Amino acid sequence: MRRCPALFISGPASNSGKTTVTAALARWCRDCGRTVRVFKTGPDFLDPMILERASGAPVYNLDLFMGGERHCRRLLYEAAGPADLILIEGVMGLFDGDPSSADLATRFGIPVLAVIDGSAMAQTFGAVAHGLATYRREVPFAGVLANNVAGAHHYRLLTEALPAGIGAFGWLARDAGVALPERHLGLVQADEIEDLEARIRRAAAALRGFDGHGLGCGGHSPPYGVETALEPIEFAQPEQTPLPSGLEGRRIAIARDRAFAFLYRANLDLLRDLGARLVFFSPLADDALPDADALYLPGGYPELHLERLAANRPLKAAVRAHHAAGRPIVAECGGMLYLLESLTDVKGHRADMVGLLPGRALIQKKLANLGVHRVRLTQGVLRGHTFHYSRLELALTPVAWSQGRDADRRGEPIYREDGLLASYLHFYFPSNPGAVVQLFNPAGTVSAGMAGLPNNHHR
């Protein structure tokens, strides 16, 4: 059993400022000498990039559908060891989705701090806070933090109507200098925001307590209510399940640069734990593949780098040669688009891609699909999520279709071309380690009973 204070940062809706506030709190705690570990709820790649910069530590995803409860417990237990504080950023609104942020907070007994955008309200702030705190009484609720506040007087207007028992944690002023830029899939990647460090520092310094003063460090007191919210929580060590064999010593080359950056840290951890040796390369900059037994092309923003990807003919030829040699390739979303004959961006600019898959894709302004999915492959059941704006035209018959958690979500096709498996799905590897072994080493051995069982990874 490990004990560590924890806080679940949520809000009434997306765009309430959860990521900015979480990053600000993480940096404030770090600057005060605390070891802080941050998690992101749901299948998000972009927010964790920001939160890693703020906290100075790896950020993992917590998702009860993709990873399962035991996996989430393992991640929290491991974080509670070195951490003085655990922060978890929610997804969308507190009660949105199934399972929701509220479900996750309740499952692990972590008190919720609701970030509410107060820019266009006064006393109604209290009604919103009351609704969040009482809609489901079993949800542990710590209090509220006001975002986009005009000043101390505005903050008093917001909080004077708070019902008794709802703590006011403080506020963050309205300031364009701390806002995080966005694009069609969410926040801009951390490495693309040149002044990100300055924005995070400014947000941390701008946090104000209930009295309007900065939070301070060292001997200074935190804002009202935090003391209660940060009572240590017990995190039990879950039962460990042995991992399958089959990837020991296998070299897996993984694309990682600004065009291909959508990588779950838990996926990389699992591959290493399975015995694989990971080597990274850049389709934007490298003219050759590393020597590798298998290739992993994750999602990202290939549409933002069409000219450079198209111009790197040696690397495209190396990918084709890897495939011709019968070596496995796993391509997800943007990685799949890179393997097509051509890709056209939202402005109509077209560029030639690798050409392993007989088809093309066009980026459109309309969202094409979004949601968490499961898919039954010959290797077993894998879970993951999809989020894309592109339309695919591919002259291949799918070998399988995914099934969305929500009944009204359409599935995604899964394509296989010899040793290549491609789909819009971003797979969450810990959902089935046995299936992952077979994806990257079809000839490998898998321990009895491991293939086809979701949520069995020990981390």
pLDDT value of residue 409: 79
Q: Is residue 352 part of a domain?
A: yes
Higher pLDDT, 228 or 306: 306
Is residue 205 domain-shared with residue 258, that is, in the same domain? no
333 is catalytic: yes
Confidence of residue 405 (pLDDT cuts 50, 70, 90): confident
Do the bridges between strand 357-363 and strand 350-352 make them parallel or antiparallel, or are there none, so unpaired?
unpaired
49 lies in some domain = yes
What is the torsional sign of CA 319, 322, 326, 327?
negative
181, 211, 235 — which closes off a domain?
235
Domain with residue 276: its CATH number is 3.40.50.880
Look up the pTM and report it: 0.91
Answer whether residue 276 is part of any domain: yes
Residue 343 lies in a domain: yes
**Same domain, residue pair 190 and 149:** yes
- Specify whether 96 is located in the same domain as 208: yes
Distance CA 54, CA 63 (A): 22
**How many domains does the chain fold into?**
2
- Return mean pLDDT, the chain: 90
- Report if residue 389 sits inside a domain: yes
- The pLDDT of residue 445 is 55
Could you list the residue range(s) of the whole structural domain that residue 87 is in?
A: 2-235
Residues 142 and 78 grouped into a single domain: yes
Q: Is the pLDDT of residue 95 over 90?
A: yes
**pLDDT classification of 144: cutoffs 50, 70, 90:** very high
Are 210 and 255 part of one and the same domain?
A: no
Q: Of 204, 235, 266, which closes a domain? A: 235
Specify whether 376 is located in the same domain as 302: yes
* Distances 308 to 122, 155, 355 between C-alpha atoms, Å: 50, 49, 16
Give dist(CA 303, CA 190) in Å, integer: 18
Which pLDDT tens digit goes with each residue over 221-236?
444 334 344 789 999 9
Pick the catalytic residue from 4, 29, 72, 333.
333
Judge whether 457 lies within some domain: no
Which residue, among 437, 98, 107, 429, has the nearest Cα to 269 in the 3D structure? Answer: 429
* Least-confidence region, from 18-27, 103-112, 180-189: 180-189
Residues 217 and 363 in one domain: no
Residue 245 lies in a domain: no
| pLDDT for position 59 | 97
Judge whether 199 lies within some domain.
yes
Residue 194 or 439, more confident: 439
Does 148 share its domain with 214? yes
Question: Which CATH number goes with the domain that contains 99?
Answer: 3.40.50.300
Does 195 lie in the same domain as 261? no
Q: Could you give phi then psi for residue 327, rounded to 5 degrees?
A: -90, 145
Q: 207: alpha, beta or left, given left = phi > 0 and alpha = psi -120 to 50?
A: beta
Report the b/e string of 104-133 with b at 16+ CB within 10 A. Answer: bbbebebbbbbbbbbeebeeebbebbbebb
